[in-house]
Amino acid sequence: MKVLVDTCVWSLALRRHKVNKSDLINQLEDLILDQRVQIIGAIRQELLSGIKNQKQFYKLKNYLRSFPDLVLDENDYELAANFYISCRNNGIQGSNTDFLICAVAVNRGMKIFTSDKDFEQFRKIINISLY
């Protein structure tokens, strides 16, 4: 099964100053080796937007090119908006990107790999599967 990897997991794995390898990083490496990793453009943008200098930007951009973006369509965006409304109506807040991640995963039957605790809250309202 393919797994949609959230920005926070990528960020942890890509940090230059890692003290030790966490279980999350080991899991991501396993997913990469098994060719199960998926990414969307919004995650790619978040990762690249966090870079401070051009040299690092181009290095990360080239690395991420190994992982092509999933092609999204109107169903993904419409479901993301629906998830946003459903969660908001139940007092749960989230970002547009987070709900897009949820929609893409649901539409494609994928799990979401994240360390963001917001997804545990979303799961109370919408039927997402976490890795």
For residue range 23-61, list pLDDT tens digits in order. 999 999 999 999 999 999 999 999 999 999 999 999 999
Residue-range definition of the domain harbouring residue 36: 3-64
> For 61-83, how does the pLDDT look when each residue is reduced to its tens digit (9 = 90+)?
999 999 999 999 999 999 999 99
Q: Is residue 131 part of a domain?
A: no
Q: Is residue 129 part of a domain?
A: no
Tell which of 35, 64, 93 closes a domain.
Answer: 64
130-57-63 Cα angle (round to 5): 55
Contact present, 6 and 130 (Cβ < 8 Å): no
Q: Are residues 41 and 81 in the same domain?
A: no
Residue 113 makes CB contacts below 8 A (sequence gap 6+) with 3, 4, 5, 6, 9, 27, 28, 31, 130, 131
Q: Are residues 60 and 87 in the same domain?
A: no
Stated length of the chain: 131
What's the gap between Cα 44 and its chain centre?
A: 9
Q: Is residue 46 part of a domain?
A: yes
User: At residue 71, what is the residue type?
Assistant: V
Q: Are residues 9 and 56 in the same domain?
A: yes
Q: Are residues 90 and 52 in the same domain?
A: no
Indicate the pTM of the whole model: 0.94
Q: Are residues 43 and 89 in the same domain?
A: no
